[in-house]
Amino acid sequence: MANGGGVQNGAGAGNSSPAAIAAASPKQGRAKTLDQVPAPKLVMFQKDQIQVGYNKMTGAGAGMYNMGNTCYLNSTLQALLHIPAFVNYLSSGCHEKECSISGFSSCTICIMYSTLRQTHQSNVIKPSKIYEKLKFICKHLMHGRQEDAHEFLRYLIESMQRCYFISKKVPKTLDSYSKETTPFNQIFGGYLRQELHCLKCRHVSITFQHFMDLMLDIKNADNIDAALIGYFKRETLSQEDMYKCEKCKQKVPAHKIYRIERPPMVLCIQLKRFNIMGGKNGRPVTLARNLDITRFIRWANDSGLSFTYNLTSLITHVGPSPNCGHYTAIGQAPNGTYYRFDDSSVNPTSVQNVLNTSAYVIFYEMTRASRDRYLAAMASSSNQTANSVYK
Asked if residue 181 lies in contact with residue 42, where contact means CB atoms within 8 angstroms, the answer is: yes
Kindly give the interhelix angle for 108-118 and 149-168, rounded to the nearest 10 degrees.
Answer: 120
In 3-state terms, what secondary structure has residue 311? strand
E strand or H helix at 211? strand 204-211
For residues 315 and 327, the answer to whether their CB atoms sit within 8 Å is: yes
CA distance 138 to 184: 18
Which one of 71, 107, 245, 268 is the catalytic residue?
A: 71
Answer yes or no: are the C-beta atoms of 164 and 10 closer than 8 Å. Answer: no
Q: Say if CB 202 and CB 263 are below 8 A apart.
A: no
Whether 71 is a known active-site residue: answer yes
Alpha-carbon distance values, 287 to 138, 222, 314, 361 (Å): 31, 9, 10, 11
Of 138, 203, 255, 326, which residue is the catalytic one?
A: 326
Largest CA distance in the chain: 65
Please name every residue paired with 313 in a beta bridge, in sequence order, or none if there are none. Answer: 331, 363
Judge whether 326 counts as a catalytic residue.
Answer: yes
Angular region, 136: left φ>0, alpha ψ -120 to 50, beta rest: alpha
Residues tagged active-site: 71, 326
